[in-house]
């Protein structure tokens, strides 16, 4: 699975899924969805396979549900999510209209 697929299909999965991805984070980076119980760590096998925490599905939904994200193209939404993952902030371009 690619990161863009995980982002695109996060709503298809049940709650409590975590996206893990290989760096560098781009739309075509390898990704996987992992069920991680509360207060737990990413499974060792996932880390050993070169993946690292990207986002929980709930955080991803929160980012994509912001009004400014509603009108973005799919590519721009992926760029927004990656920027937020790397910077813990929204990019200034998301507010430019």
Instruction: Please state the φ and ψ torsions of residue 13, each to the nearest 5 degrees.
Output: -90, 160
Q: Do residues 53 and 88 make contact, with C-beta atoms less than 8 angstroms apart?
A: no
CA-closest candidate to residue 30, choices 57, 53, 1: 1
In this predicted model, what pLDDT tens digit does every residue of 68-79 receive, in sequence order? 898 899 899 999
Query: Looking at residue 27, what DSSP letter applies?
Result: T
Determine, yes or no, domain membership for 58: yes
The per-residue pLDDT for 82 is 97
Domains held by the chain: number? 1
The per-residue pLDDT for 36 is 87
Determine, yes or no, domain membership for 81: yes
Determine, yes or no, domain membership for 13: yes
Indicate if the pLDDT at residue 14 is higher than 80.
no
Which structural domain, as residue segments, surrounds residue 63?
3-89
Q: How far is 82 from 3, CA to CA, in rounded Å?
A: 10
Indicate if the pLDDT at residue 97 is higher than 70.
no
Residue, of 97 and 88, whose pLDDT is higher? 88
Determine, yes or no, domain membership for 83: yes
For the chain, what is the mean pLDDT? 90
> What angle do the packed helices 57-64 and 74-87 form, to 10 degrees?
120
The per-residue pLDDT for 26 is 97
């Amino acid at each position: 699975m690619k990161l863009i697929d995980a982002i695109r299909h996060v709503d298809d999965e049940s709650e409590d899924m975590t996206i893990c991805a290989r760096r560098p984070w781009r739309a075509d980076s390898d990704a996987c969805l992992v069920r991680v119980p509360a207060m737990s760590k990413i499974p060792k096998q996932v880390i050993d396979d070169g993946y690292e925490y990207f986002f929980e599905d709930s955080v991803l939904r929160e980012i994509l549900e912001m009004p400014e994200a509603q009108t973005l193209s799919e590519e721009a939404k992926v760029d927004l999510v990656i920027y937020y993952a790397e910077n813990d902030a929204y990019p200034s371009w998301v507010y430019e209209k």
